[in-house]
Amino acid sequence: MSIASLAKALNLSISTVSRALNNYDDVAPETRRRVLAKAKALNYRPNAAARQLVSGSTRAVAVTLPAVETGEEFIDWMYSGLLAGVSAALDGSGYYLLATSAGGRGIDREMALYRNLIEANSADALLIVRTLVDDPRVKLAQEAGIPFVTYGRTQTDLPYSWIDTDNEGAFALAAHRQLGFGHRRIALLNGPSAYYFAQLRRRGYDKALTAAGVALDPALVVEGNLSIQSGYSLTMELLNQKSPPTAFLCAVDNMAFGAIAACRQRGLVVGRDVSIMGYSNSPMASFCDPTLTTIEHKVFENGRHVGEGLLRLLGGEAPGQLGYLEPVHLVPRASDGPLVTS
């Protein structure tokens, strides 16, 4: 049923019915009661597009997700947890989460999707994830004047609101653990350096090794696309070095799973001959063989902080008031251990 039909049934103007439905105080209480009772009796549901035209609000918070490289999956487990946290924070606020994916087609596709959302007024606020050091999505949102929160940090001179995990602290912690085991040839299987999180993880790794008096070897730091296959391929290359690493710190658990497969193929016993650590504490980490030592970050809690930040911005808070760094925690298992010397 349209609002015009409802107005005709009540013998009232469309304007009066609309204002009654939206609880305007210039409508008489008896008229409002009549309108609400008739709307309920006729099972009237307001048209979302029409309400948007009146209010100028979509009640949507939009995010474009970076799908896996193949584009064959819409979302991985980490973003599922993050968005669950965002949705939990938005619950009851009147806002809802609108998610789409770039389908593994990179930042240009993400930019196009965000630009379409902004130009079509399809969202009241944006969530930007997996931030780049120099992020054009952040610049686009700032220029458009639309509220946004980033999951991760970026380099910009303008104030912005962000939530992040302690990437630098995580990889300092991982490196210190391997140093404590006696390892000195410690490899870092990192994400692309264009991402800010990758630079922070490299910084934590570098600081830990330098503090321990271990010379930094650029040949031990490699970059991959965060997949199992990249972890496998990079580990194979590292094992071909004249002095191969005895410990591997991986940017995500998926890369660690690939590293485990590569080491086992070379006849190495993971946890004895080599140490391998992941990051994220994914569901498979406690079920792989050997079980994976990893760094846990509270993805759901991060999502709640993101959602709360978005609501603060939508409530009128100025950008830059929010900056929250989620702590990380070591989850020790069987995939790493002391250096074995012959």
pLDDT above 80 for 246: yes
Mind giving me the DSSP string for 268-330?
--BTTTBEEE-SS--GGGGTSSSPPBEEEE-HHHHHHHHHHHHHHHHTTPPTTS-EEEE-EEE
pLDDT at 151 exceeding the cut of 90: yes
Given CA atoms 301, 149, 313, 91 in this order, what sign does their dihedral have? Answer: negative
What is the arithmetic mean of pLDDT over 180-184? 98
Q: Name the percent of the chain lying above pLDDT 90.
A: 78
| 123 and 98 Cβ atoms separated by less than 8 Å | yes
The alpha carbon of 273 is separated from its chain's Cα centroid by a whole number of angstroms, namely 34
Locus of tokens 């696309």 = 225
Classify residue 220 by its DSSP letter. G
Contact indicator for 276, 336 with CB cutoff of 8 Å: yes
Integer Cα distance of 205 and 250 in angstroms? 11
Residue indicated by tokens 């569901």: 283
DSSP category for residue 237? H
- Nearest-10 Cα torsion for 339, 331, 259, 222: -90
Query: Residue 197 above 50 pLDDT?
Result: yes
Q: Which is nearest to 63 in space by CA: 88, 36, 96, 91?
A: 96
Asked whether the whole model's pTM tops 0.85, one would answer no
Is residue 114 within 8 A of residue 139, CB to CB? The reply is no
Contact 221, 189 (CB under 8 A): no
Of 253, 238, 274, 265, the residue nearest 331 (C-alpha): 253
Q: CA-CA distance, 256 to 271, in Å (whole number)?
A: 12
5 pLDDT higher than 90: no
Give the residue among 104, 105, 111 at the shortest CA–CA distance from 128: 111
Q: Which helix (H) or strand (E) holds 196?
A: helix 196-211
pLDDT for the residue numbered 2: 66
pLDDT band at 48 (very low <50, low <70, confident <90, very high): very low
Tokens describing residue 2: 């349209």
* pLDDT computed for residue 15 by the predictor: 66
For residue 49, count CB atoms less than 10 angstroms from its CB and return exposed for 0-12, middle for 13-18, buried for 19 or more: exposed
Stronger pLDDT, 51 or 161, i.e. the higher one: 161
In this prediction, what percent of the chain has a pLDDT beyond 70?
Answer: 92
Where would I find the H helices in 217-277?
228-239, 253-265
Question: Per-residue pLDDT for 33 more than 50?
Answer: yes
For the chain, the maximum distance between any two Cα atoms, rounded to a whole number of angstroms, is 94
Average pLDDT over residues 195-199: 97
> For the segment 91-138, what is each residue's pLDDT rounded down to a tens digit?
999 999 999 988 767 889 899 999 999 999 999 999 999 999 999 999
Best mean pLDDT range from 31-35, 71-75, 305-309: 305-309
* pLDDT number for residue 75: 67
Computed over every residue of the chain, the mean pLDDT equals: 91
pLDDT at 49: 45
Residue type, 226: L
User: By C-alpha distance, which of 171, 111, 115 is closest to 146?
Assistant: 115
Would you say residue 38 has pLDDT above 70? yes
Query: In Å, what is the CA distance from 220 to each residue of 106, 141, 186, 202?
Result: 27, 37, 7, 11
The predicted-structure confidence for 252-289, as pLDDT tens digits, reads as follows 999 999 999 999 999 999 999 999 999 999 999 999 99
| Amino acid in position 58 | T
- pLDDT tens string 224-243: 999 999 999 999 999 999 99
CA 224, CA 286: separation in Å to the nearest integer? 23
Q: Is the pLDDT of residue 334 over 80?
A: yes
Report whether pLDDT(211) > 80: yes
Q: Which domains does the chain have, with CATH numbers?
A: 3-55 (1.10.260.40), 60-165+299-327 (3.40.50.2300), 167-297 (3.40.50.2300)
